[in-house]
Structure 1
Amino acid sequence: MTTATWDAGERALLQAAFESFDEAAHTLQQSYSTLTARVEQMDLELAQSNEALRRQLHVNEAMRRHLDGILESLSTGVLVLDGAGVVTRANGAAAAFLGAGHAGDLQGRPAEDVLRAAGLTSSDRPQRIGSRVVTITGAPLTAEAGGASGSLVLLHDVTRVCLLEEQLRRRERLAAMGEMIGRIAHEIRNPLGSVELFASMVRRDSADRPSVQRYAEQISQSVHAMDRLLANLLLYTRPDRAPRAWHHAEQLILDSLTLAAHAIAKAPVDIRLDLDPRIPLIWCHEGQMKQVCLNLIVNAVQAMPAGGRLTVSLTNEAESALGVPAVRLTVADTGDGIDPSHRSRIFDPFFTTKDEGTGLGLAIVHAIVEAHQGHIDVDSAPGRGTTFTLVLPHPAPLRALPPAAVQTCVCVEESAQ
C-alpha cells in the first residue's frame, strides 16, 4: 500500500518536473527566437550602416579627387602648412614656381627653407623667378571648430600684369615725349630750310672760291643729316598717318637687306631667309615696313661685330592675341644679346648703348608696329643672341583670292596712294 502510494507521489513529482522543464524549454525557445530576430535585425542595421559608410567614403573620395583636380588646375601656387610652418601639401604650380620636380618633393620641408632655396622671401612685394614675376601672400587655415589648423602660402604669377603696367608707363612716357619731340622738330626744321637755302646760294656765288664752296657743302651735308634725324623723329611721333596696302613680302625684305648692305659688309654675316610661300603679301605701309626691317637688320648686324648668323622668317600666327588673322615676322641674330637691365628701355627714344647711336631705331620700330595695330616682343640673353618678333594683322579676304586677283588688288591699292 505504502509502495504504491509512493510510486504515485513520485510520478506526480516527476510529472510536475517535466511540466516545469517544458515551460522552461518553451521560455528558452521564445527567448532564442527573440534573440535570433534581434541578431538578424542588428545584422540588417549593420549592413545598412556599412552601405551608408561605403557610400559616404565613395562621396568623400570623389570629393577628394575633385578638390585635388581643382588644386592642380590652379595657376596659383599653393603650399599648405601645419602649425609649425612645415609644408604638408603643395600643388603642381607651386612645384613649378619653386623649381621642384614634383609637388611631393616639397612636403615635409619648412616653408621658409623652400622659399629661400628658390631665391624668394615671404615679402608680399613682386619678386622675380627666372622670367616670371610672382607675389607671395599668406592666409590662415581655419578648422571646423573655428581654430587655426595651419596656414596657406599662395604664389601668384603677375608677370603679365607687370608687363602691361610697364607698357602703360612706357606709352604714357613716350606719348608726352613724342608730343614734345614733334613740336621741337617742326621748330628746328623751319630754320634748317633757311640754312640750306643760304648754303646753296653761297655755293652758287663762290664758283671761283673752292674753299668757300667746300665749307658750304659741309654746311649743306650737316643740314641734310639733321633733316634726316628730324624726319625720323616725325616718323616716330606720327607713324599712324600713312596709308597701308598689300605688298610683296619677299621683295620688301630683300629691299630692306639691300638698304642694310653698308652695315652687313662690315662683318661676315650669314643671312638666312625662311619665308612661308603661303604668305606672298603683307598688309602694311611699304616705306614704314622697310624702315622697320632695316632698323632691325642693322641692329642685329651691329650686335655681331665678329660675324654670326642673321635669320629673317615670316610665318602664319596660329593663335594671334590680336583677335584677327596675323603673320609673324622675326629677325634673329647670334650676337651679344641684351643686358637684362636694359630690356625695359630698349624701345625708349634716345636710349642707346652705342657710342654713335641716336637711340631712335628701335623706338621707331615700336611706334610703326603699334601704328599697324601689331605688337613686338623681344627674347634675348647675354651671349645667346636676340630675336625680335613682330605680329602684324593680316586681313583674311584677300588671302583667299587667286594670284591674278591679288595682283590686281595690289596694283589698285598702290595706285590709290
Structure 2
Amino acid sequence: MLMKERQGTTVQSTPESAEEISRFADSYASFNRIINNLQRQYIALEEEFGEQNRQLIETNRKLVDMTGRNLKATEFLNGILTSISAGVIAVDRQGHVTHFNPAASLLLGIPANRVVGSPYRDIIPPGRPVEANALRTVESGHGCESVEKSIDLPDGTKLLVSVSTALIRDDHGEPVGAVEVFHDLSRIKKMEQELVRLTTLAALGEMAATIAHEVRNPLSGIGGFASLLKRDMAEDDPRQRLVDKITRGVESLNKTVTTLLNYTRFDEVNKEDVDFGEFLNRIAEQYGHDHADIVDGSTIEIAAAGPRPRPVRVRVDPMLLRQLFYNLYTNAIEAASRAVIIQVTYAQLPRQTAVQKYGDRVLLGVDETVIETVVSDNGPGITPEHLERVFSPFFTTKQDGNGLGLAVSWKVAKAHGGDILAANTADGGAKFTLLIPAKIDPVDREPNL
C-alpha cells in the first residue's frame, strides 16, 4: 500500500485509482493522437481545397476567355453576315427562320423583324425551282449548289438569283437546320446582254464598210438618174409622181445607211466643256427648227432640278449628245397620235446619292458624280414587254422605223462613260433617264472625297 502525506494528512493510494489514472493517461494520449491526426487531415484538406480553388479559378479564367473568344467569333461572324452582299437565310429543323441578314432583306424586300422566328414557307417567296431553298434542304437532307432561281417579289417584279443550300450540323454531326445563300444575278445578266450588244455592234461594224460601198454608190446612181429623168419631163407629166417616189426611196435608204454607220462607228468622242442647261435649251430650239414638219404643236420644256439650281458644267461631245436628244424627242412625238409635252429635267447629283441610286451603272472616278437628265412625255408610254428591248438594234414598233434611233442613243451614252434607262411615268408616259459622269462641283465636294 502506498502512503502519501499532504498537509499533515495521510492519503492512501489504492491499486484501483492507479489503474484509472493509467487509463486516463492512455485516453488523453489517444485523444492527442486523434487531434494531431485531425490537424494533419485538416491541413491536407486545406491544401487540397487551395489547389482545387486554384484549379477552379484557372478553369473559370479559361471559361471566361473561351466565352470572350466565342463572343468575338460570334460578333465577327455576324459582322460578316451583315456586310456581305449575298442573301443568307438559316432555318431550324422545324422550318422556322433563325437568321435573315440585311442583304436578304434588301433583295427580297421583306423586313428582317417580320421573318426571324416565323415559318419559312409563310414568309419567303418559294420561287422556281421550288427545290432550291433551305426548307427543302431540311426536309430532304440534301443541299444544292449554284442553282438559278426566279423569285416573285412582293412588288410584283421577278428576281433572278443563284442559290446554294447546305445542312447545318451540331458537334455530333446531327442536322439542326439548314442555310440558304443566294446572289443577285441581275448585274451578270445585264453584262451578258451588253456583251451581246457589243458582239452585235462588232458584227455591224464589219458590215458597215461593205454597206457604204455596195449600197451608197448604187443609190447615188439611182438618185442621179432620177433627177435627170425628172429634168427631161414636162411638169404635168404623170410619170413625175413615180420619179418622186424613187427620189424619196433613195433618200430614205441613204438615211438608214447613215444611221447604221453612226451606230457602228464612234471613232472619236470630241468632248467640250459646256453649260449643260444652256446646251439643252439650244438643242430644243434647234430641234424645233430642224423638225418643224413633225413637231406640230408639241412642246419641249427644260428645267433644272434640285434644291439649289445653278449652272451645271460637264464635258460632252455636243454633236453626239445632240443626236441622242434628237432621237428621244422624235421617238416621243412619233409614238403619240397627238401633240405631246416633253419635259426635260437635269441635276448634278451628290456623289453618295449617285452611287446609292444607280450603283455600278456608271463607273465613277473618285472625283466624279452623275449628271442625271430625265426626258419624259405624256404620250402612250412603252409596253412592259418592250421595255427590255427598246435599245436593241433594229427593234421598232413603227411601220416605217429602222430600229436604230434608241440604239444610237444608248451607244452615245456608253461613249460618254454613262448609261440610259427606259421606264414609264406614273401617268403612263415614257421616261428616259440619261446618266453622264461629271467632275464634282467644288461646292458639293465632301471632306472624304
| TM-score, normalising length: structure 1 | 0.80
Do residues 299 (structure 1) and 299 (structure 2) align? no
Mapped partners of 1:116, 1:80: distance in 2: 15
Greater share of helix: 1
Amino acid at match of 2:67: L
The 1:164/1:142 distance shift into structure 2, 3 A limit, reads: same
The Cα shift of 1:162 comes to 0.9
Structure 2 residue aligned with 1:321: 363
| TM-score, normalising length: structure 2 | 0.75
Structure 2 residue aligned with 1:408: none
Structure 1 residue aligned with 2:84: 74
Do residues 167 (structure 1) and 201 (structure 2) align? no
| DSSP 3-state at the match of 2:375 | strand
Mapped partners of 1:252, 1:292: distance in 2: 13
The Cα shift of 1:91 comes to 1.9
Structure 2 residue aligned with 1:224: 251
Q: Give the alignment of 1:9-408 within 5 angstroms.
A: 9-83=19-93, 85-102=95-112, 105-110=115-120, 112-116=121-125, 121-123=130-132, 124-128=147-151, 129=153, 130=157, 132-146=159-173, 148-180=175-207, 183-207=210-234, 209=236, 211-213=238-240, 215-241=242-268, 243-247=270-274, 249-261=276-288, 262=292, 263-267=294-298, 269=299, 271-274=301-304, 277-280=310-313, 282-284=315-317, 286-302=318-334, 307=340, 310-315=343-348, 318=351, 320-323=362-365, 325=368, 328-335=371-378, 336-380=380-424, 384-392=428-436
Mapped partners of 2:148, 2:230: distance in 1: 65
Amino acid at match of 1:235: N
The Cα shift of 1:93 comes to 2.0
Amino acid at match of 1:77: G
Contact 2:128-2:149 within 8 A present in 1 as well:
no
The Cα shift of 1:373 comes to 4.4
The Cα shift of 1:333 comes to 1.1
| RMSD between superposed Cα atoms in Å | 3.5
The 1:115/1:183 distance shift into structure 2, 3 A limit, reads: farther
The Cα shift of 1:198 comes to 2.1
> Which piece of structure 1 moves more, 380-389 or 180-189?
380-389
The Cα shift of 1:57 comes to 1.4
Contact 1:132-1:157 within 8 A present in 2 as well:
yes
The Cα shift of 1:359 comes to 1.6
The 1:63/1:13 distance shift into structure 2, 3 A limit, reads: same
Structure 2 unmatched runs, 5+:
3-11, 133-146, 356-361, 443-449
| DSSP 3-state at the match of 1:25 | helix
| DSSP 3-state at the match of 1:338 | coil
Contact 1:300-1:310 within 8 A present in 2 as well:
no
Q: Give the total of aligned pairs.
A: 395
Mapped partners of 1:315, 1:192: distance in 2: 46
The Cα shift of 1:165 comes to 0.7
The 1:139/1:355 distance shift into structure 2, 3 A limit, reads: same
Mapped partners of 2:193, 2:391: distance in 1: 12
Contact 1:88-1:107 within 8 A present in 2 as well:
yes
The 1:11/1:288 distance shift into structure 2, 3 A limit, reads: closer
Structure 1 unmatched runs, 5+:
401-417
